[in-house]
Structure 1
Amino acid sequence: MDISVYRPGELSAADRAVWTAVQSQAHLLGSPQLANPFLSPEFTLAVARCRRGVRIAVIREEGEPVAFFPYRRSAAGVGRAMALGVSDCQGLVHRPGFQWDARELLQACGLSVWEFDHLVEGQKPFEIGATGSYPSPVIDVEQGYDAYLAVLRKHSPKFARSTLAKERKLGRDVGEVRYVHDERDPAALRTLIDWKSAQYRRTGRSDRFSRPWINELVEQLFHTRTPSFAGLLSVLYAGGQPVAAHFGLRSERVLGCWFPAYDPAFSKFSPGLVLHLRMAEGAAAEGTAYLDLGRGEKEYKDSLKTRELTVSEGWVMRRHPVAIGHRARRAPVRALRNTVTARPELFEPADRFLKKIGRIRSGH
């Protein structure tokens, strides 16, 4: 393989254009999963402005780029997927039929190991290192919102009926319900971040927005807009005030759902669920094929979904002491987390404990 490694600022406009074209054509060429916005050059470049060590490997055949591999590298040669822990889709973006040797790629990138937790389907050279696979629920809207709503009413009739009724009640009790699919007011983004941060603390989870680089990344993406990519803030208003919001990433065909939150004062109206239905309607109107709700078992995802994708986590490694040491440190933590989340008899008491910690933190 002819592999060149670049810092993000060194990637040529021509290479970026090919990368975007590969994603734009992916659904026509049998790899629709590669159209995910988390695999886009815009996402990689935004991460690079907030985090050190971002690199992009470009693989060429006969002088022409055929694949792009974004990653982060530590000084010790430990590689991680782009924005590991917050990105919902990872892997190598490539032309149809391209095959690669994972260890040869790692060697060219100066990596002893590459860690991933949302590896996209169809990446066989990386999948050899997968330690587990997990569902990523999807809302299909390519046939239009009415078609999706018909599917929802068939498979989750009670959920559809109650959510639509709560939207009507929200309008009666609070005031006119208004939805903005692409809200450009930075103050609305700040409100969402405050809600989400409070939700993390309230439920005893680690507050992602306590990390400055994640705040910076979201703000970078909010202001990133190209014909094939945008950071998308969607807001549900009632009586002139925001009651729920979501920030995600949009490519030409996929809306990657990322940070949803709502004002707990309006929880009896399930504003987050109402928001997701409005997002599906707005995405369908824009010609989006599907909304990717992301890995993680949640009741609302099961109610909203039409099908599931699969993502994997794990490591692909070369024979190297750094790789062995990295895996030895990380594997027990991952195994424990996945065991707890997969088993209700363990997850439910753990969830109750975290919420109790959250109440103590917040003084309630």
Structure 2
Amino acid sequence: MQRFEDNVCNQQSGLEIITDPDAFLALRHAWNALWSKADGRHHEAFDVCWLCWTQVAKPRGRRLHCIVYRENGELVLVWPLVSRRRFFWTVLEPLTPGTAEYTSILSAPGASVAIEAAWRAATRYSQADIFNIPYVVKNAPFYDLASRHTGLVATTQHVSAMAFLRNEPDWTAYCSTLGTLSKKKPGAREKRFQKEGTLEIRALDAKDTHAHAQWVDWMLARKREWAERVEKQGPWLDSREYRDFLVNLVDGTHTQPMGILFVMTLDGAPVAASLIGLGHTCINGLIAGFDPKFSRFAPGSIMMERCIKWAWENRMDVDFGIGTEDFKAYWSRGNILPNTSFQIATTRWGKMAFYARGLAKRLADRRAAGARANAGKATMTA
């Protein structure tokens, strides 16, 4: 554990980089209190981050770098990061389950001093060469710090969507403001599908671990089939660690679960499944899958609508995540948020990594252009 006083005198104040998992676990109570106070998001919750560490990051050989800041003994900031080796370089990145997630800092309101200190700790004291920071919403407190960093090498622009449902007094009235999606009003697809048999959509019991495992395996299998069809393969789809993370996320046998698994059946046969992550006042869609033989009934859209209605009933907003899909703009009523992914070189050696990658790309492009030119000459000769 590294400690930095960072311009404070009180011994109970200051910044630390926690590298010991036991010290990380000891933060649970204070972290939970801060999460509630700061209206924390799903990926910022202690139990979610602990699962990310124990189920995914640690088994993959990552090193823990959890930045914390205290004022007069009170925890006011937590930023869990991990490092890994990539060829000859050390890469620092957020602690995640291995999928693309937002980057944010859990902090108390008005903690600007703590945020700046945490940023310095990540970019100066972590002993990493490269800092990857995916999906930072533009109004994030450290967005400007990343944008102005002298080591900034590359940025990528994205958008996300959010539906603010907590202030919607009436579900029918809210739906009436949406119009149609693919020429269908809310509820129409489900009514059509109900004509095919007994359609059931329900949330699994938080303590039914056997059903959790069965449905997560089924959902991941459908997702792999989808990825193959659309040629969007991701290593997390075949990851045992990610599968176990999802199963544990919805397990309510020991603690409050941080996710809910919704399932859909027709005459008892699996049709679709969707797993949502629970934040303090907001849910996140994490992963979903459906049987393609029912695709003409749009079971994914039906399930999405049910999950959104569940959020409204429980006074929760809905974060649809990164992407430009039509349904996200539709249900959020066009509430689209800009996001940026940053790649920062924190050392000169880190800058060499980006230079080497750029050089390799240019050489590959040159070889590809040469191959196309030779192929064209051969065609003309023939």
Give the TM-score range, shorter chain: 0.7 to 0.9
Partner of 1:36: 41
2: distance between equivalents of 1:239 and 1:8?
50
Partner of 1:89: 102
Matched, 1:73 2:95: no
1: distance between equivalents of 2:357 and 2:265?
42
Q: After the TM superposition, which residues 100-111 of structure 1 pair with which residues of structure 2 at under 5 Å, given as runs?
A: 100-101=116-117, 102-111=119-128
CA shift at 1:107, angstroms?
2.3
Partner of 1:48: 53
CA shift at 1:115, angstroms?
0.7
Q: Which runs of 5+ in 2 are unaligned?
A: 1-5, 7-13, 362-382
Partner of 2:72: 62
The answer as to whether partners of 1:221 and 1:230 remain within 8 angstroms in 2 is: yes
The answer as to whether partners of 2:53 and 2:95 remain within 8 angstroms in 1 is: no
In the alignment, which of 34, 57, 64 is matched to residue 22 of structure 1?
34
Name the CA shift for 1:133/1:71 in 2 (closer, same or farther; >3 Å): same
Matched positions, count = 323
Matched, 1:136 2:153: no
CA shift at 1:228, angstroms?
6.8
1: distance between equivalents of 2:253 and 2:330?
31
Partner of 2:369: none
CA shift at 1:6, angstroms?
1.9
The answer as to whether partners of 1:106 and 1:114 remain within 8 angstroms in 2 is: yes
State the identity %.
17
Structure 1 residue matching 2:259: 3-state secondary structure: strand
2: distance between equivalents of 1:286 and 1:331?
49
2: distance between equivalents of 1:250 and 1:269?
28
Partner of 1:348: none
**What is the TM-score when the length of structure 2 is the normalising length?**
0.75
Matched, 1:116 2:133: yes
Name the CA shift for 1:133/1:20 in 2 (closer, same or farther; >3 Å): farther
Partner of 2:173: 150
CA shift at 1:139, angstroms?
2.4
Partner of 2:194: 171
Q: Which has the larger radius of gyration?
A: 2
CA shift at 1:225, angstroms?
7.4
Which structure dedicates a bigger proportion of its chain to helix? Answer: 1
Name the CA shift for 1:118/1:164 in 2 (closer, same or farther; >3 Å): same
2: distance between equivalents of 1:273 and 1:330?
40
2: distance between equivalents of 1:136 and 1:305?
10
Name the CA shift for 1:8/1:112 in 2 (closer, same or farther; >3 Å): same
